[in-house]
Amino acid sequence: MPSPRNQSPQNRRFDWPGILRILLVQVLVLAALMVAFVRYVNWSSDQAWAEFSRTFMAPAPDAKPEPNSAAPMRAVKSRIPCPRRV
């Protein structure tokens, strides 16, 4: 095998099929990574949406109220008000 230094400019050739194969492999790897990334983003988005939906779901309509809750008590400035005296 002759060394590259001894080759004359007329004898130098590019291995175009080899270059195209390498380019094709790089494009396929990049496409596979892009598909994997998009699938991961969709999956994580679905998981986050499901968790969000579970957190803010309305209570069931057949849920029974607590027995001693005739009037709902609301927090005022982060404190629960005391019941009024008669």
Radius of gyration of the chain (CA): 35
* Between 31 and 82, the higher pLDDT residue: 31
Dihedral pair phi/psi, residue 67, rounded to 5°: -65, -35
Domain range holding 33? 14-54
Residue 60 lies in a domain: no
Phi-psi domain of 50 (left: phi exceeds 0; alpha: psi -120 through 50; beta: other): alpha
What's the CA gap between 57 and 63, in Å, rounded? 13
Please report how many Cα atoms fall inside a 13 Å half-sphere around the Cα of residue 20, on the Cβ side: 4
Residue 77 lies in a domain: no
pLDDT score for 73: 60
- Is the pTM above the cut of 0.75? no
Residue 63 lies in a domain: no
| Contact of 62 with 55, CB cutoff 8 Å | no
- 16-73: pLDDT as tens digits: 999 999 999 999 999 999 999 999 999 999 998 888 888 877 555 565 655 555 555 6
Number of domains in the chain: 1
Residue 79 lies in a domain: no
